[in-house]
Chain A
Amino acid sequence: MAPPPHRRPGFSRKAQYGLFVTYVVAIAGTIVAALLLTISVVDPAGFSALRTFGTEITAPVARVVSNAQRSSQAATHTVSAYIDAASKNVMLEKELKANRSALIEARALRVENARLRGLLKITDGEAQQVAVGRLISSTASSTRRIATLSIGRNFGVERAQPVRGPAGLIGRVIETGPTTARVLLVTDSENLVPVMRASDGLPAFSSGLGNGLVLIKPLNLGESPFKVGDIIITSGNGGLYGANIPFARVIRKTSEGALGLPFADPANTPYAVVMRPYLVEARAAQQAVAPDGETKEVAE
């Protein structure tokens, strides 16, 4: 369509000035937006009140749609459970028998572990649960991987608390509102998680790649020691994320580490548990030296 001929508004002074003013306002507005952007780049936590407001007003719709999604998923699951029910039943009974003995052994090991720990007088930070919520939306169009949690300060959720699902670690809380909170997922590039290999405790770091995968880098230099299928769990170092939370499975070996697929899929997790930081005192001491969000990682 041709643009309307508003550029030459005739001899009317009023119209000419009006046109001029819109250009001035446009340029001034652009500069103001650039200034706002500078402020939010310097202080990423600033403007969180505005973002929280945006999340809060849209949360009711997200909650309703999320509920509807969940119940339709449940219905599909119930229906699909009837398909091949007999053969599934036989298979599950077999598995149950095999698992029963493993479970008894695990119980015995737990008791033994507690006894040995008691002898050595080791006290672990007990990862306690703060509240249970659901993930109701995510920033699906941005390069940042942030999800919205259905609970906020009303349930005692605070900044820098780890969040996990039934399958594994989801992320940590970065902003809280009255009834919602924003969670930085483990797949965000900024989320570093201290992890280890489940089989031998090989220490490593995980950082998100922004595409649903995480990059797992071992602390020791040298050839990548990972194999496809290795199970990665959190190590509890740093005192934020609790120890032994299932984290990811290695799906590919790379030159400097491995690519992992996190166990917790935000799209598919029925609930999200907000936990207290694992070692509160150690964490507080660390925060006093280098607070989250204010200390910059030095680029290589």
Chain B
Amino acid sequence: MKIPVSSIRLPTRPGREYESRFDREQSMLKMLAIPIASVILASMVTTLPIFSAGPLLPPFGLLMFLSWRLMRPGLLPIWSGVPFGLMDDLFSGQPFGSAGLLWSLAMLIVELIDSRAIWRDYLQDWLIAALLIAAVLLGGWWIAGLAHATPAPEILFPQILLAILLYPLVVRICARLDSWRLAT
């Protein structure tokens, strides 16, 4: 079945549907602010009144960060793991600098993978994200163990599993934000 061209909906800014569609430009502010704000807000989720017996809440900041990186390569600069990670450390309760280091290493690893692989599909993205999520959470556990007494690593497994299963949802949120970001 042929899809008529008129049924394809181009993302448009609300209130501009009836204006000319020629020669429009995206808002520079939105282009920059949406990825940054979405990662920081996702990091701030831990400050909502959510109480869990153990570490169970998925690291939404990390999920959002990885989604942007894997979905839009080249959008976030290579060094962006450091500022986003340090921001996440303010809210996560981990020793300060832990996410700064781990997110930056994750970013460099994705960069390495990108320089080897020609093309990634969605399942490969998910696999890369799953491995990085597990590595960052276990790394965070190890780092917390350097400074404080920590429980056995088994208590992280439910959180790791939950985070991996939630990654597709976060990618979809990210894609919606991206189409809003690029809407003219």
Contact = CB atoms under 8 A, between A and B. Distances in A.
Task: Specify whether A and B are partners.
Answer: yes
B17 to A, nearest CB: 29
Given A33-B82, A41-B147, A143-B55, A148 B156 contact: no
B118 interface: yes
Interface string A13-54: 000000000110111111011111111110010110011011
Given A36-B86, A41-B147, A65 B49 contact: yes
A138 B73 CA distance: 33
B57 A140 contact: yes
A266 B50 CA distance: 10
Interface in A50-109: 50-51, 53-55, 58-59, 61-62, 65-66, 69
- Bin the interface of chain B by size: 35 or more
A36 to B, nearest CB: 3
Q: Is the interface of B mostly helix, strand, loop or mixed?
A: helix
Given A27-B108, A143-B155, 16 more contacts: A26-B111, A29-B83, A33-B101, A37-B95, A37-B101, A50-B96, A51-B90, A55-B47, A62-B49, A137-B51, A139-B93, A141-B159, A142-B46, A142-B93, A142-B144, A144-B94
Interface of B: 44, 46-60, 71-74, 77-79, 81-83, 85-86, 90-98, 100-101, 104-105, 107-108, 111, 114-115, 118-120, 140-141, 143-144, 146-151, 155-156, 159
Nearest first, the 10 closest Cβ-Cβ pairs linking A and B are A212-B53, A139-B93, A210-B151, A54-B90, A37-B97, A33-B100, A267-B51, A36-B97, A29-B82, A140-B57
